[in-house]
Chain A
Amino acid sequence: MTIPHTEVGPARVPRHWLRMVVIWAVLSAVAIPLIVLVLGPHLPPGRMTSEAGSQRDANTLMTALLAPIVVSVLVFFLYSIVAFRERGAAIVDGPPLRGHVPMQTAWVLFTSVIVVALAAWGSYTLIVSSHGAGGGQGPDPVAVPSHRSQDLVVQVIGQQWNWTYRFPAYQDVETDHLELPNHSPIEFHVTSLDVTHSFWAYQLGVKADAVPGVDNVAFVHTRDDGNFNIRCAELCGLWHGHMFQTGNVVTPVAFKSWISSEQKAEAPNLRYLPPFGRTYFPAPFRRAG
C-alpha cells in the first residue's frame, strides 16, 4: 500500500474523494449504457403485451438507476478498506470522527427523494399507464382500461394441478389450452376450485393469485403473435411445479377457428359443467377432527 496514512493531512482528504468520484463516474458511465442497451432488451418479461412491456421498462429503469447506487457504495467500501487498512501489529486508534451533519442530512434527503420518486413513478405506471401492470386486482379493479366492454373475457380456473379456461363470450366453453387473439384487450378472471394458486403467464406479464371464492381480475393488451409459458407461482401442493402449459397469441382469424373447434369438441361436456359464475364453491373440505 503506497498511501501513507500515519499522518492524515488536510490536503489528503479531497484526493480520496476525487479518486472515488472518478472511479464511480467511470464505472457508472460504463454500466448504465450497458444495462439500458445490452441487458435491457433481455430483461423479463418481454413485449408480448403492453403490460409486459411496462414491466420490462420498470425492470430496466430500476436496474439502471440502482447500478450507480450499488457502484457508489461498493467503491466507497472497497476504497476505504484498501486505503485505510492497517497492516502493522500494533493497535492504533483512528481520528475520532463522530459524524458530519450536512453529509447526514444530504444522505437522508437524497435517499428520500429517490424513494419517493420511485414510489410515485411506480404508482403512476400501476394505476394510470398500464392498468394494473398485468397484476391481479381482485374483484373490483381500480386501474381499468377505458374500453373495458370490448375486452375478451377469459376465466382462468386453477385446480390441483391444472389450469382450465372458460370463455363466457363463446357459450361458456371450458378448454384446457389457451389461445388469445393478437392486438386485443384481454380480461383475465382468475379463480380457484381448491387451494390458492397463482396464474403466471410469463411472456404476457400476467400474475394473479387464484384464490377460492375470489374473482381476481387482470388486464392485458396483446401485441404480436407468439408462444407464452403458463406456470403456477404459488405453492399449491404436490405437483405445483408441474402446473405448466404453453399458450399462443395468434391472429383473430386463427383464434376464431380454434375456439369454434373447441366449442364443437366440448359441446357434449358442457352439460356436466356448473353454470358459468364469477366464482365456484365446491363442497367445503373439512378434516372432521
Chain B
Amino acid sequence: MTTYAAERPLLPAWRGLIGFNMFTALALGAGGWFLGAWIGGQIAVGNDYLIATDQNDVGILMGYLFGLIGWLGGLGFFNYPVSRLLGRPATVREKESGGAARYFTLCTDHKVVGIQYFFGVGIFFFIGGLNAMLMRTELLRPVERAWPAGQYLSLMSLHGTMMIMMTSAFILGPFGNYFVPLMIGARRMAFPRIEALTFWLVPPAGLILLSAIAFGGIPTGWTGYAPLGTEGRSGMDAYIFAFMLIGLSLTLTGINLLTTILTMRAPGLTWTRLPIFVWGVLSTSILMALAAPVLIAALLMELMDRAANTSFYLTSSGGSPYLYENLFWFFGHPEVYILALPGFGIVLEILPVFARKPLWGYKLAVAGMLGVTFLSFMVWQHHLFVSGMNSGLRPFYMLTTELISIPTGFIFLNAMGTLWHGRIRFTVPMLFALAFFFNFLIGGLSGIFLSDVPSDVTTHGSYFVMAHFHYTIMGGLVFAFFAAVYYWLPKMTGVVLNERLGKIHFWLMFVFFNLTFFPLFAAGFLDMPRRVSTYAPSLQTLNDFVSASAFVLGSSMLIFIANLIYSLVFARIPAAENPWASRGLEWQVPTPVPLENFERIPIVNSGPYEYGVEGAPPTATLGPVAVPAAGS
C-alpha cells in the first residue's frame, strides 16, 4: 500500500476527489435528482390534480431513478457493462490496490466491501436507533406532546423501515462478505463486482428513505399496507423506491453468496466440514434470492398504483388489498428468517470456540437451518389470521408456524450440548452469544402465542407483537451482530477492542434491553395497539418505565461507539493473529489479511470444531506442501 502511494505523481489534494468515487457519485446523484424531477415536472404539465396538490409522484420517482443512475455512474458501475457491450474482455477485479481511498469507491475486494458494509449499515442503524429514542420520548405521555401525530407516524415508519432494511444485511453484509471467502478458503466472491454493487445500493436506499421526511413522511409503518400506502403522500414513493433498492441488493447478495459457497469451497472442505456460520449464510442466501424478488414485484405494483393508475390494490377497481398483504408477507416471513438465520450461524460458530468443544450435533444444526428455510415459505398467512382471508386455511398455517419451532429448537439443543462439560470462558463475544439464547428463547416462545389463532386474536396488532419481534430481531440478530463484532473485528481491523468497555456495553445492553421490551408484552396484553402516539392513561407508568430503560439501552450503543473510536483511533493495540485460539480457517491467515487471502488455495484437513480431539490435524494446510487439486 505504501509503495502504491509513492508511485503516484504528486497532485493537489482536491484532485483526489475527482474520479470514480463516492464524492463524484454524490454530486452526480444530486444532479440526476434535479434532472429527473425536472423531466417528471415536464410530464405533469397541464395535469390539474398535480398542480393543485403538488404531489407529482412521477416527478419524484424520476428524480430518484436519475439520482440513482448518477450515483452508480459516479462510482463507475457503468464502465464495466459498457465495455462488455463493446466487446472488451471480461474482468473480475477492480481497484483492489490502493490505500484508504478504496473504501470510498467501487472496490471488488471482499474485505473492503465487508468494512464498507460495517460502517455504512452501522450509520443507518444508528439513525434508526435515534428514531426509536424520539418515539420513546413521545410515549412518555399518553397524549401527543413531543411530536404531532403525523411526525410520530413518520418517525415510527422510518424507524421500522430503516431497521428492517439495514438489519437485513446486518450480518451478511459485513461478516458474510468478509468471512465467507476466508472460511471456505477462497480468494474472492463469485461475482465481486455484484458484491460491490450490493453495498453501493445501500447508501442511496438509506438516503432516499430519509428524504421521505421532506415529502410528507411515510404513514404506513414498515409494512406499507396497500390502501393506506396508495393514498399516502409522496413520502411513500421514497419508501417504495428505497425498499426496492434494498430488495435488489438482497437478491444480488443471495445469488452471489449462494454461488460462492456452492462453487468456491477449497479442496477437502466437504459439506460436513463447512463452518456452521457458512451454513447459516447458505440458507439465508436461498431465502434472499427467492423471497426478495417477490418484494420488488409487490412494491412495483404499489408504485404503479400510485404513479400509473393501475388498480392492483384498489378494491373498487377490481384489485384487492389482500393481494398486497399476501405478496408482502410471502416476502415478509422469509425476511424475518433472513434476519434470524445468520444469527443462529454466528452464535453456533462462537459457542464451540469459547466452550472449547466440538459443535454438539452438527448435522442437527444444519438440518435445523435448512428446515427453517424450507418452512419459512409456507407460513406467511399467520400474519393475516384475523384479516378475513382464507379462514379455512388457518389451521394449516397454525400447524406450519408451530412446526418451525421444531428446527429452531434444534439450535437450542446444539447450544446446550456444546456447553455441557465445556471449558466456558466469558469473553465479550461469548456473553453476547449466551444472551442471544436467553432473548431468543423468550422471543421464540412468545411467537407460539401468536401462532395459535385463539391467542392471536387477543394479541394481533398489539404491543405483544412488537415486543415479540424486538426480542427476536434486536435480542436475536443485534446481539448476534455484536457477538460477531467483538469476535471478528480484531481480524478485520487488526486492532484489539477494549474488553472492559465491551463488558460494560454488554451488561447495559442486556439488562436494559430486557427491561425495555419485557414490559411491552404486558402492554400488549393490556390492550395497547402497535404504532400509536397515544395510549390509555392507566398505562403511563409502564410506558415511562419502558422509555427510561430505552434511553439507557440507547446510550449503551454510545459506549460501543466510544469503544470503537477509542480502540481503533487512539489505543490501536495490534491484535494477535488468532487471539481466541480458534480452529476456524479465517483465523489461520495473517492479520491484517493479505489482499489475496491465501498464498495458495488451502487444503482443508478437518472440521473447524475439533477442539479436544486427540490427534486432530490442523484445520487446513496453508503452505506449499502439494499442488492444489483442481477446484474442489
Contacts and interface: CB of A to CB of B under 8 A. Distances in A.
Given A66-B445, A70-B445, A118 B402 contact: yes
Given A58-B452, A70-B445, A84-B421, A96 B388 contact: no
B297 to A, nearest CB: 20
Interface stretch (A21-29, A130-138, A165-173): A130-138
Interface in A90-130: 91-100, 103-104, 107-108, 111-112, 115-116, 118-119, 122-123, 125-127, 130
A77 B416 contact: yes
Contacts of B625: none
B230 A285 contact: yes
B272 to A, nearest CB: 11
Given A73-B416, A216-B388, A287-B306, A235 B362 contact: no
A8 to B, nearest CB: 6
Nearest to A198: B461
A235 B358 contact: no
Given A81-B434, A213-B315, A238 B460 contact: no
Contacts of B395: 119, 122-123, 126-127
B139 to A, nearest CB: 10
Interface residues of A, number: 102
A62 interface: yes
B404 to A, nearest CB: 9
B187 interface: no
B455 A55 contact: yes
B461 A112 contact: no
A146 B578 CA distance: 70
A235 B228 contact: yes
Interface string A178-210: 000000000000100011101010100111110
Contacts, number: 320
Contacts of A55: 454-455, 457-458
Contact of A288 (B47, B410, B424): B47
B462 A118 contact: no
Nearest to A287: B306
Contacts of A242: 149, 534
Given A74-B438, A241-B529, A284-B316, 4 more contacts: A59-B455, A86-B425, A100-B417, A133-B457
B461 A234 contact: yes
Contacts of B386: 135-136, 198, 207-209
Interface stretch (B19-27, B125-133, B548-556, B607-615): B607-615
A93 B441 contact: no
Contacts of B394: 123, 126
A281 interface: yes
A206 to B, nearest CB: 8
Interface stretch (B317-325, B478-486, B587-595): B317-325
A107 B438 CA distance: 19
Contacts of B519: none
B399 interface: yes
A289 interface: yes
Size range of the interface on B?
35 or more
Interface stretch (B82-90, B204-212, B218-226): B218-226
A283 interface: yes
Contacts of A116: 399, 402
A-B pairs, top 7 by smallest CB distance, nearest first, are A241-B532, A233-B461, A213-B315, A93-B612, A216-B388, A138-B388, A133-B454
Interface in B392-415: 392, 394-395, 398-399, 402-403, 405-406, 409-410, 412-413, 415
A231 B593 CA distance: 57
Contacts of A141: 391
A142 B412 contact: no
Contacts of B321: 196, 211-212
Nearest to A279: B315
Given A97-B417, A118-B402, A58 B527 contact: no
A212 B390 contact: no
Interface string A13-32: 00000000000000000000
Nearest to B395: A123
A96 B357 contact: yes
Contacts of B535: 241
Contacts of A238: 149-150, 153, 219
Contact of B457 (A5, A80, A134, A239): A134
A99 B316 contact: no
Contacts of A77: 415-416, 419, 434, 437-438
Interface in B524-540: 525-527, 529-535
Contacts of B525: 43-44, 59
B405 to A, nearest CB: 6
Contact of A207 (B457, B534, B612): B457
- Max count, chain B CB within 10 A of own CB: residue among A231, A240, A289: A289
B353 to A, nearest CB: 10
- Max count, chain B CB within 10 A of own CB: residue among A91, A132, A202, A288: A288
B388 A195 contact: no
12 contacts: A58-B452, A69-B445, A70-B442, A97-B358, A107-B413, A123-B394, A190-B388, A209-B384, A213-B315, A241-B531, A287-B55, A289-B49
A153 interface: no
Nearest to A73: B441
B284 interface: no
Interface of A: 5, 8, 43-45, 51, 54-55, 57-59, 62, 66, 69-70, 73-74, 76-77, 80-81, 84-86, 91-100, 103-104, 107-108, 111-112, 115-116, 118-119, 122-123, 125-127, 130, 132-143, 190, 194-196, 198, 200, 202, 205-209, 211-214, 216-217, 229, 231-242, 281-289
- Max count, chain B CB within 10 A of own CB: residue among A84, A135, A282: A135
Contact of B424 (A43, A86, A200, A229): A86
Nearest to B415: A77
B576 interface: no
- Max count, chain B CB within 10 A of own CB: residue among A54, A93, A237, A281: A93
B255 interface: no
Given A59-B449, A289-B50, A212 B227 contact: yes
Given A74-B438, A231-B527, A239 B149 contact: yes
A214 to B, nearest CB: 5
Contacts of B493: none
Nearest to A141: B391
A58 B455 contact: yes
Contact of A104 (B58, B316, B399, B413): B413
B575 to A, nearest CB: 16
A70 B441 contact: yes
A145 B401 CA distance: 27
B349 interface: no
A116 B452 CA distance: 12
Contacts of A115: 402-403, 405-406
B409 A111 contact: yes
A232 B613 CA distance: 59
B213 interface: no
A89 to B, nearest CB: 10
Given A84-B419, A99-B362, A233-B529, A94 B322 contact: no
A107 B150 CA distance: 49
A103 B456 CA distance: 33
Nearest to B224: A235
B58 A118 contact: no
Contact of A211 (B322, B392, B613): B322
B361 interface: yes
A112 B399 CA distance: 11
Contacts of A122: 395, 398, 402, 451-455
B309 A207 contact: no
- Max count, chain B CB within 10 A of own CB: residue among A5, A85, A134, A241: A241
